[in-house]
Amino acid sequence: MTEASLEQNLTAARDEHLVPGREIHMQDMRGHRFCQVGLITGTSQDNAIANIWSTADACDPTPEQFDALDAGAIADENRALGAWLNPVRHWMSDRLDIGEAGDDKTFGDITGTWTGVVGAAALMQATEASPPTTVRMTHSAKQSCNCGAQLPSIMICVGRTDIPSSARFIASSVACRMLIASISS
């Protein structure tokens, strides 16, 4: 029997976690706290995936709640190869629309909604990059700002735990303004 490919695992994860007809529409998002938890599964490095749960519409996580998460314990509890934890940040956009959302899952005191799946290798590469980078996800989402600019939100903006949250907020704000300027012009 042959091993499933990365594409097959991405498709299977979407089929498993997507809730047909479930959408997320949030306004006045700027400054709203959120974090993400990913469960890494697969049978090899070549076909490993990370299902991502975002707290955007499910809860308002505090840094203390996030700090209490134990990646090893989360992976064990969910029979996953690993858990990826993307720290508490603040939205820089004003509106978030996710056309395809999935099931809810609780990790410690944090609840997230499944918002997509990505290849684990790409996610880990983006996480380890300096500066942190983005990785494309397989979900239909749009972010927008009150200026009318549409932001490409089919990406995960990878957070860094070694930078104070105030610096992450400023860096995200500058990056968002630069992106809006390039899209608006």
In a domain, 60, yes or no: yes
Q: Let me know the angle formed at the C-alpha of 12 by 7 and 14, rounded to the nearest 5 degrees.
A: 95
User: What predicted TM-score, i.e. pTM, was given to this entire model?
Assistant: 0.77
Tell me which residue range forms the domain holding 145.
6-184
Which residues does 22 contact at the CB level (< 8 Å), separation at least 6?
100, 101, 102
Place of tokens 């996800």: 137
- Check if the beta carbon of residue 30 is closer than 8 Å to that of residue 89: no
Q: Is 183 exposed, middle or buried (0-12, 13-18, 19+ CB in 10 A)?
A: middle
For 8, half-sphere exposure in the C-beta direction (CA atoms, 13 angstrom radius) is 8
Written as six digits, the tokens of 100 are 């395809």
| pLDDT tens profile 49-100 | 999 999 988 999 999 999 999 999 999 999 999 999 988 888 877 877 888 8
User: How far apart (Å, rounded) are the C-alpha atoms in residues 176 and 165?
Assistant: 16
Does 71 reside within a domain?
Answer: yes
C-alpha to C-alpha distance for 184 and 123, rounded to whole angstroms: 29
Asked whether the beta carbons of 154 and 134 are under 8 A apart, the reply is no
Query: Could you tell me if residue 143 is inside a domain?
Result: yes
The tens place of each residue's pLDDT in the chain, 185 residues long, gives 689 999 999 999 999 999 999 988 888 888 889 999 999 999 998 999 999 999 988 999 999 999 999 999 999 999 999 999 988 888 877 877 888 889 999 999 999 999 888 899 888 887 776 555 555 555 555 555 555 555 544 344 444 444 444 333 333 433 333 333 333 33
Contacts of 165 (CB under 8 A, 6+ apart): 63, 87, 88, 89
Q: Is residue 161 assigned to a domain?
A: yes
In a domain, 85, yes or no: yes
Tokens at 113, concatenated: 């909604």
Q: Please provide residue 120's backbone torsions phi and psi, each rounded to the nearest 5 degrees.
A: -65, -35
Q: Decide if 1 is inside a domain.
A: no
φ/ψ (deg, to 5) at 15: -60, -35
Number of domains in the chain: 1
Q: For residue 110, is it within any domain?
A: yes
Cβ neighbourhood burial of 25 (10 Å; 0-12, 13-18, 19+): exposed
Examine residue 52 and state whether it is found in any structural domain, yes or no. yes
